[in-house]
Structure 1
Amino acid sequence: MILTVTLNMALDVTYEVPSVDWDGVNRVGAVHRRAGGKGVNVARVLAALGREVLVTGLVGGPTGRAIEEDLESAGLRSELCGIAGDSRTTLAVCETGGSRDRRTALFNEPGPQVTPAELAGFVRRYTSLASAADVVVVSGSLPRGVPADFYATLAGIPAAPVIVDADGDPLRHAPKGRPAVVKPNAEELARAFPGGQGAQELRSQGAEAVVVSMGADGLLAVTGEGTFRARMPYTVEGNPTGAGDALVAGLAMDMAEEWPDRLRRAAALGAAAVAAPVAGAFDRDVYADIHPQIVIT
């Protein structure tokens, strides 16, 4: 079983519009509303690939109830911890016109305030769930009231191998928990470690491996077995929201697999997610086409 952790769970709303007029009225062509947050997106991809997955995290208020209802309707098994604050909503505005310059704008609310008692309750629940998992994925932003080193705390609890996907201070602190994999994108890594040696720095501080996503330029993995690069054969156009989550799902599927195979699948899933309209989905045709063409060096 793969356990995904989403502390700042959200109700994701996606607006599809032909093009955005930022000074006028826009007519929305399609609206998608579904439970989200990075760990939920990872879980959706894993479930679509036939893997047993369990979703945990923090939810509260009317938005939290909507999240729980959507998880249930999607058939995603969950064990969530309730909080007093209302869970957040995110909004993605995606241009769907014929231009190759289609843009996506993402608006993320900060999330609810979490009390120390609520956080302690979650740690107890997480410790129990992680002990029964084969892999744990901890990803996304932290709601207010959660300390910046909390992902390191979770990774340091003796259990299954942990993959951490984080930004900012949570990324900088993550290696202290000795996670199996830390997965930033190139921009996140540069912000956290401006000197240009971020992957090596994360490993020197305790991460077993670091996988850096670089968009159309593929993936870079710095591991104990060596450094690997996944190169994409072509660029997939679409909505990049959720591509990193699909990539993480690919890394989590089989932690015992050789790095070249893991990277190839992860890169292919990330590209296939760009071709899907909403985060947590991927285009199976794109995945099947691009997977064998990815070159690992």
Structure 2
Amino acid sequence: MTHNLDALALEFARICSVAAVPVMEVYRSDFTPQQKADRSPVTEADMRAEAIILKALQSACPGIPVLAEEQFEAGVRPEVDDVFLLVDPVDGTKEFIAKNGEFTLNIALIEKGAPVAGSVYAPALERIYLGGRVARAGALQPGGSINADALSGIATRKTPPAKGAVAVMSRSHADERTRAFAGEFGVTQSLSAGSSLKFCRIAEGEADIYPRFGPTMEWDTAAGHAVLNSAGGAVTQPDRSPFLYGKSAAGYRNGDFIAWAVPPA
């Protein structure tokens, strides 16, 4: 299936829809967050969703190694080569705990360092984003079946609004360096968004740039990166060199990056 990237992204979306059912059960409950070794929060939703996703990926992508956030934390770290999968069962756990709806389930396929297919699902917002050869988005209820014909194509905008560029910022991690870069780019407005939705806001033409100075993990960004790429945008390092995946020597930790509506020259 990996050669048919649009079909694969659709399968990722189907898996995310199924995994979102227990996520929303936890979300609507009076849950108690726990703390991982790196002091980041985790909930029962992460564990339950990841188990469902991993089982489904064994059938959808047999033989392809998977790096999944909670298994990685538990020490399950398979060797990866040119082709592997990245899974974040609940991206934006702080948003999940705050119950603002801006958390996502993320699955992406990496080939030769680049994300080539991905799905970002925001179940509380009932919105799904897919990236393969093309980018699509639409409504999807948790546990609902996904129909490709019901999705609409999305694309980045090629010029900022006349009143100035729009930057999308993290609700949790925007800092002075981020704001300074945005100002140098000519940003006059900003949108706040959690999780991988920041990439998706650019992919659907609502913003022009997302600068991120600070650590993330590869599973945090890969699916959103895939959606943005397929919508006509790009993600680079701040020096505009390629932003790649499979950084085993760094423990799969990302460096700084910029997400663009229009790929830089």
- Give the TM-score normalised by the residue count of structure 2: 0.26
Q: Indicate the structure (1 or 2) with the bigger Cα radius of gyration.
A: 1
- The one of the two structures with greater contact order (alpha-carbon pairs below 8 A, sep at least 6) is 2
- Give the TM-score normalised by the residue count of structure 1: 0.24
